[in-house]
Amino acid sequence: MASDFTVFLGQMMRKPKEVSAIAPSSAAVARMMTEGVESVEGPILEIGPGTGSFTKVILERGIAPERLILMELNARFCDELRQKFPGVTVLNRPAQEIEQIGVSNLGCVISGVPVLARPQIQREVVGNAFKVMAPGGVFAQITYSPNAPIPPETQAEMGITARKRGTVWANLPPARVFEFRRRAN
């Protein structure tokens, strides 16, 4: 099996519209993105897993493979994910179809899908995720911006709030992790 970086680079060159990062996320980002998943109840959904750097850490945190669902647009990445993570459900579908996969009461969504400055994607991905998420569910999002990738007015419109978990400087490029939750009534 080829290295994650080799597969990633090959797909980035062949299908640039399906690969939005310049390199797989670092282990430090994966740890921050998956913080707290071991205490989540219900299914866990990862969108845009790429070569599986977050997936690996989710499973290392003790999540049973049967609880984990991956949605990935790139077919080659899906093949790699199925080989590396037996028992995990891997769907070759865009994140925008989150409501159509037949899951409800998600405890957590881990997102590698770029939503920064893309209002349509923010609504179709993040907004729809909250429609199938458990009341206390959390949506973790990676971004390369110092600010939340969804602006405050869009957060208010969707009824969610953002909290910055932190910055990982030892990532290429430096990454920030934000979590979104339903706004308290």
pLDDT digits (tens, 9 = 90+) for 90-117: 999 999 999 999 999 999 999 998 887 6
Domain residues for the domain of 165 are 4-182
Residue 100: how many other CB atoms lie within 10 Å:
10
In three-state secondary structure terms, 12 is: helix
Distance CA 17, CA 12 (A): 8
Q: What's the CATH number where 146 sits?
A: 3.40.50.150
pLDDT, tens only, 14-51 = 555 545 555 567 899 999 999 999 999 999 999 999 99
Check if the beta carbon of residue 7 is closer than 8 Å to that of residue 51.
yes
- Detail the DSSP E strand segments found in 32-132: 44-47, 68-71, 89-91, 106-111
Total number of domains constituting the chain? 1
Terminal-to-terminal C-alpha distance of the chain: 50
For residues 68 and 99, what is the distance between their CA atoms, to the nearest angstrom? 16
| Contact predicate 71/98, CB 8 Å | yes
pTM assigned to the model: 0.87
